[in-house]
């Protein structure tokens, strides 16, 4: 579970590097998004969810390959580790992205600045653990053995 949870650090770093920033115009001290840039809020969320789906599928498959440990306990541990990893990825990714696009000082009116990507919905965190459960569950359902193939002999 702890190794799976630590994968959130890498996912958070990767998301902060891939997620596009949103360009905004400073007008009367407020940030006004440019028209063409407003879709980046959705892009940030989708990139995070796709990374979570990919990592969740890999974790589910990797945990299934632990032949001697197959069963509901290891599935629960993998799903819990994936949930922790997704939460950690969100926290690390937002922090790193905020550092990449830090705006120093007060900006003059008419200035265009880049704003760090954010996750608009916390529901994105569920993509990784649900995919882990789906991948592991699909492999368990596909397996026709009563003991899930735990015995090698």
Residues of the chain with pLDDT under 50: none
Q: What pLDDT is recorded for position 69?
A: 85
CA distance 93 to 19: 9
Q: Which residue, among 139, 125, 127, 124, has the nearest Cα to 62 in the 3D structure?
A: 139
Tokens of 120: 């608009």
For residue 81, what are the CA distances in angstroms to 3, 36, 112, 128? Answer: 8, 38, 40, 10
If you search the block for the tokens 């926290």, which residue do you land on?
91
Q: Give the pLDDT of residue 102.
A: 77
Long-range contacts, 74-81 (Cβ 8 Å, 24+): 75/133, 75/136, 75/137, 75/140, 77/1, 78/1, 78/4, 78/132, 78/133, 78/136, 79/129, 79/132, 79/133, 79/136, 80/1, 80/129, 81/1, 81/2, 81/3, 81/4, 81/5
Global confidence as pTM: 0.88
Q: What span, in angstroms and rounded, lies between the C-alpha atoms of 123 and 144?
A: 34
Listing from the earlier edge strand, what are the strands of the sheet with 30-33? 30-33, 22-27, 112-115
């Amino acid at each position: 579970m702890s190794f799976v949870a630590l994968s959130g650090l890498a996912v958070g770093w990767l998301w902060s590097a891939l997620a596009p920033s949103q360009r905004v115009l400073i007008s009367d001290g407020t940030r006004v998004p440019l028209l063409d840039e407003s879709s980046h809020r959705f892009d940030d969320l989708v990139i995070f969810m796709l990374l979570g789906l990919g990592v969740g599928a890999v974790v589910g498959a990797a945990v299934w390959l632990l032949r001697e440990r197959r069963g509901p306990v290891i599935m629960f541990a993998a799903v819990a580790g994936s949930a922790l990893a997704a939460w950690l990825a969100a926290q690390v990714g937002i922090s790193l992205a905020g550092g990449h696009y830090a705006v120093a000082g007060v900006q003059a009116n008419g200035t265009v600045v880049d704003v760090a990507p954010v996750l608009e919905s916390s529901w994105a965190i569920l993509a990784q653990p649900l995919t882990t459960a789906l991948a592991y569950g699909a492999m368990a359902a596909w397996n026709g053995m009563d003991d899930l193939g735990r015995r090698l002999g």
